[in-house]
Amino acid sequence: MNAIVVGSGFGGLSAAALLAKEGYNVTVFEKNEGPGGRSSVYSEKGFNFDMGPSWYLMPDIYENFYAEFGKKPEELFDLKKLDPSYRIFFGDKRIVDIASDLEENFKLFDSFEEKGGEKLKEYLESAGKLYDSSVKDMLYKDFKSSLDLLSGKMLLQGMRLNIFESLEHFVNKRFESDEARKVVEYSIGFLGGSPQNTPSMYHIMSHIDLTMGVFYPEGGMRKVVDSIYELATSYGAEFKFNEPVTSIEIEKNKVTKVHTSQGSYEADLVLVNADYPHSEMELLDKKYQTYDEKYWDTRIMAPSAFVGYVGVDKVVESLDHHNLFLEDDWANKFDQLFDPEKASWPDSPSYYVNVPSRTDSTASPQGTDTLFMLVPLATGIENSAEKREELYEHIMDDLEKKTGENIRDHVVVKRIFALDDFKERYNAYKGTALGISHTLKQTAHWRPAHKSKLVKNLYYSGQYTHPGIGVPMTLISSQIVVSDINKKLKK
Ligand SMILES: Cc1cc2nc3c(=O)[nH]c(=O)nc-3n(C[C@H](O)[C@H](O)[C@H](O)COP(=O)(O)OP(=O)(O)OC[C@H]3O[C@@H](n4cnc5c(N)ncnc54)[C@H](O)[C@@H]3O)c2cc1C
């Protein structure tokens, strides 16, 4: 059977590997020059940048995926646990390290507020219990209707928690200090949401980064991409790069062919990993779109981003592998990201700087640093060169002030990737970096479905579908959809 996969992001790569292992003749069409999608690589003058993901979290989910092939992550790449997990710069006030050892973090929380350590312990116990039940009952479940949702134990546990409560409200009841609140809230950025619009059940994110820890695959996230690409090709999947799909042909509610920039190919089934709104609205005839333009236009989109890939010919000593710069007035800043009325370029945003060269000698030449700077931006704001440059200068000023080092004069590589670049490179709807946000109404059954409701042999995987945003989630989405395809075929 011919299975065609559209797109080779983590969702497409993992689905291709699973389908090929099941014996399908798999062909993957990818618009760009290589595999990885949002996790592509940019290299210049010996500086190697992972263009997207840099946090390897939820190691259990990667393990579960590789186990489908009888493999362990450690057989495919060197995985180390970072310590400290990350460094936080709280405005101009204080710099702290979040340790991989929880006891250290309890002491740190005691320094934030009275009984801070005890409060963190309780918070993490709740997050840990919820994580265990959500992995079993929710993440790997294929939500087809709201009945599936009601049967989920996690939801019942969620009800006890009050699923309508925002993370912000949940956190504010438990912690008083600005620092403690920020540490347990920042990780919601991984889900493309804000503490105000994300349900409290996502406090599991703190179990993920504080209890489970932060890992790094030696050689960067590209090693994870390579490992899945190699698994897929070892089972016979064929990849056609620089060959975008231009339309999907359907007869009597079944896909028959896929048309690309270079030809037409017969398909028994098609699995789309390309951005869901692009594939529905641009690759399918209107009558076969499960979700129309109005649907997409009314979703809460995860933000776009400003990403700076900067190589410097020195080591910036005070930066660690992961560095968060969290500004004082950050609660108000979320409006600039999610409220269309207030959407605008940020004036003094919180931001993130990743320095893989701190732990990885292959990231940049000896004695130099790769700086990956990330600032979330609202989708749909003016895409101007001046604004990008202004933001770059602002981040540089702030970084120099907070590290006390001259960085600007040492820049030897500089590339900025933002807003329309996401549209052009990935066909990203409204230039989103992450797809649709994890609000309550865009969780589980309410995320776009893994299977078309109108076309029999058309499937989807990737960050738009359940369970959602982030590399581990996209691997699960493929496990869910390929298992569904197999069940149907066996019938
Ligand atoms: C800046 C940034 C930082 C991030 N940081 C982290 C992190 O630290 N940890 C983490 O776990 N996650 C992180 N994420 C999220 C994570 O990267 C994504 O959730 C995940 O990679 C999405 O994978 P995907 O397969 O759904 O989509 P994509 O990676 O976008 O893959 C879709 C593919 O489809 C291709 N395509 C589009 N249109 C067509 C067409 N017509 N024909 C053929 N191909 C097409 C695209 O080129 C792309 O390769 C980050 C994302 C970004 C952008």
Residues 307 and 420 in one domain: yes
Residues 385 and 449 in one domain: no
**Residue 66, in any domain of the structure:** no
Nearest-atom number in ligand 1 for the CA of 12 is 25
- Residue 274 Cβ inside 6 Å of ligand 1? The answer reads yes
User: What integer is the mean pLDDT of 54-76?
Assistant: 97
Quick one: pLDDT band at residue 489, thresholds 50, 70, 90? confident
Residues 390 and 455 in one domain: no
DSSP secondary structure string for all residues of 216-284: EETT-HHHHHHHHHHHHHHTT-EEETT--EEEEEEETTEEEEEEESS-EEE-SEEEE-S-HHHIIIIIS
CA of 60 to the centre of ligand 1 (A): 21
Phi, psi of 460 (to 5 degrees): -135, 145
At 202, which amino acid appears?
Answer: Y
Residue nearest to atom 7 of ligand 1 (CA): 53
Pairing between strand 369-377 and 351-354?
antiparallel
Residues 236 and 280 in one domain: yes
Query: By C-alpha distance, which of 65, 159, 44, 111 is closest to 440?
Result: 159
Residues 320 and 418 in one domain: yes
- Residue 52 Cβ inside 6 Å of ligand 1? The answer reads yes
Quick one: pLDDT band at residue 454, thresholds 50, 70, 90? very high
Owner of token pair 């020059």:
33
Distance CA 329, CA 348 (A): 9
As given in the structure block, the two tokens for residue 382 are 């003016």
Distance CA 86, CA 107 (A): 16
**Residue 63, in any domain of the structure:** no
| pLDDT, position 148 | 63
As given in the structure block, the two tokens for residue 82 are 């970072």
pLDDT of 471 over the 60 cut? yes
Distance CA 30, CA 16 (A): 12
Distance CA 135, CA 152 (A): 11
Residues 364 and 452 in one domain: no
Q: Residues 33, 242: contact at Cβ < 8 Å? A: yes
Mutate to test the pocket of ligand 1, among 13, 14, 38 (most ligand atoms within 8 A of CB): 38
Nearest-atom number in ligand 1 for the CA of 11 is 25
User: What integer is the mean pLDDT of 165-191?
Assistant: 93
**Residue 97, in any domain of the structure:** no
At 41, which amino acid appears?
Answer: V
Query: By C-alpha distance, which of 175, 228, 210 is closest to 18?
Result: 228
At 470, which amino acid appears?
Answer: G
Which of 425, 445, 480 is the last residue before a domain boundary?
A: 425
Distance CA 232, CA 350 (A): 39
Residue nearest to atom 51 of ligand 1 (CA): 52
At 260, which amino acid appears?
Answer: T
pLDDT of 156 over the 80 cut? no
Nearest-atom number in ligand 1 for the CA of 471 is 11
Distance CA 73, CA 91 (A): 37
Q: Per residue in 263-321, pLDDT tens? A: 999 999 999 999 999 999 999 999 999 999 999 999 999 999 999 999 999 999 999 99
Range of the domain at 110: 102-214
Residue nearest to atom 17 of ligand 1 (CA): 53
CA of 51 to the centre of ligand 1 (A): 10
Residues 318 and 397 in one domain: yes
Residues 374 and 394 in one domain: yes
Quick one: pLDDT band at residue 146, thresholds 50, 70, 90? low
As given in the structure block, the two tokens for residue 114 are 């009275």
Which of 167, 187, 214 is the last residue before a domain boundary?
A: 214
Distance CA 212, CA 194 (A): 22
Residue nearest to atom 10 of ligand 1 (CA): 470
Q: What percent of the chain has pLDDT over 70?
A: 96
Quick one: pLDDT band at residue 174, thresholds 50, 70, 90? very high
Q: Per residue in 197-225, pLDDT tens? A: 888 989 999 999 999 999 999 999 999 99
**Residue 55, in any domain of the structure:** no
Residues 460 and 364 in one domain: no
Residues 471 and 486 in one domain: yes
**Residue 453, in any domain of the structure:** yes
Which of 404, 425, 446 is the last residue before a domain boundary?
A: 425
**Residue 58, in any domain of the structure:** no
**Residue 57, in any domain of the structure:** no
**Residue 414, in any domain of the structure:** yes
Could you tell me the CATH number of the domain that includes residue 15?
3.50.50.60
Nearest-atom number in ligand 1 for the CA of 35 is 49
CA of 114 to the centre of ligand 1 (A): 42
As given in the structure block, the two tokens for residue 162 are 């009050």
| pLDDT, position 157 | 60
User: What integer is the mean pLDDT of 326-355?
Assistant: 88
Q: How many residues does the chain have?
A: 491
Residues 406 and 446 in one domain: no
Q: Domain tally for the chain?
A: 3
Residues 421 and 308 in one domain: yes
CA of 63 to the centre of ligand 1 (A): 20
